Chain A
Amino acid sequence: QQQVKQSPQSLIVQKGGISIINCAYENTAFDYFPWYQQFPGKGPALLIAIRPDVSEKKEGRFTISFNKSAKQFSLHIMDSQPGDSATYFCAAKGKSGNTGKLIFGQGTTLQVKP
């Protein structure tokens, strides 16, 4: 119930291509879905986030698509660049009072080839 399943585990994309990472959840009480980007040896950086009352959110080359009925959400990276090579984590948060506990997916390692 508390899990977030992320796929694929790793992804190789050519420069200029579209990278797609998927996440699925079971708990319908989740109300916030962020994506984090992490480079080796650095902390995760908040990339983009969505709430379940919206089906899509776009920020620059990054788009979250959200399917509430299927309990799935995905990150699309358009025009992927070598600098996008990193590990991406999806996450979900339930109504948690004032603690904000996140449930993370297992991560996807993205490599963008020049």
Chain B
Amino acid sequence: DTEVTQTPKHLVMGMTNKKSLKCEQHMGHRAMYWYKQKAKKPPELMFVYSYEKLSINESVPSRFSPECPNSSLLNLHLHALQPEDSALYLCASSQVWGFEVYEQYFGPGTRLTVT
């Protein structure tokens, strides 16, 4: 089973709201990712967690705050977002083989609209 689940599927939030996106996988993968995807564009990497530690932050604004509570869960906390942050937010996970990872599996995404 190569399933990554994400909740909620859709989220509408105002610019002053605080909300969280949730991602879960039960494949034993030790690398987890957050991506942002705009329409007709490729996924854009935001954060990478490896063994529950943040290993890559692609210069993402602080209004996005990731959290990895355990090896199966990944959260993305949102605060004071801008309308241009509206996008499909994707979670992905990979198994870690020694010092390398290969197959990366994506969840269905959360469609975020900031009003």
Contact = CB atoms under 8 A, between A and B. Distances in A.
Contact of B104 (A97, A102, A106, A109): A102
Interface stretch (A44-52, A53-61, A67-75): A44-52
Nearest to A32: B102
B43 interface: yes
Contacts of B56: 99, 101
A42 B4 CA distance: 12
Contact of A100 (B4, B101, B111): B101
Contacts of A32: 102
Interface in A23-82: 32, 34, 36, 41-46, 49
Interface string B90-115: 10101010011111111111010000
Interface string A78-114: 0000000001010001011111111011110100000
Contact of B99 (A42, A98, A105): A98
Given A98-B51, A98-B96, A99-B31, A107 B40 contact: yes
Interface residues of B, number: 33
Contacts of B45: 101-102
A76 to B, nearest CB: 21
B41 A106 contact: yes
Given A43-B90, A49-B103, A98 B109 contact: no
B42 A107 contact: yes
Given A43-B106, A100-B94, A101-B48, A95 B100 contact: yes
Given A99-B48, A100-B102, 17 more contacts: A32-B102, A42-B109, A46-B106, A87-B40, A89-B43, A93-B102, A96-B101, A98-B30, A98-B55, A98-B99, A98-B100, A100-B100, A100-B101, A100-B104, A102-B45, A107-B40, A109-B40
Ordered nearest first, which 9 A-B pairs have the shortest CB separation? A100-B101, A104-B42, A43-B106, A98-B50, A43-B108, A98-B96, A99-B48, A100-B94, A43-B109
Interface of B: 2, 4, 6, 30-31, 33, 40-43, 45, 48, 50-51, 55-56, 88, 90, 92, 94, 96, 99-109, 111
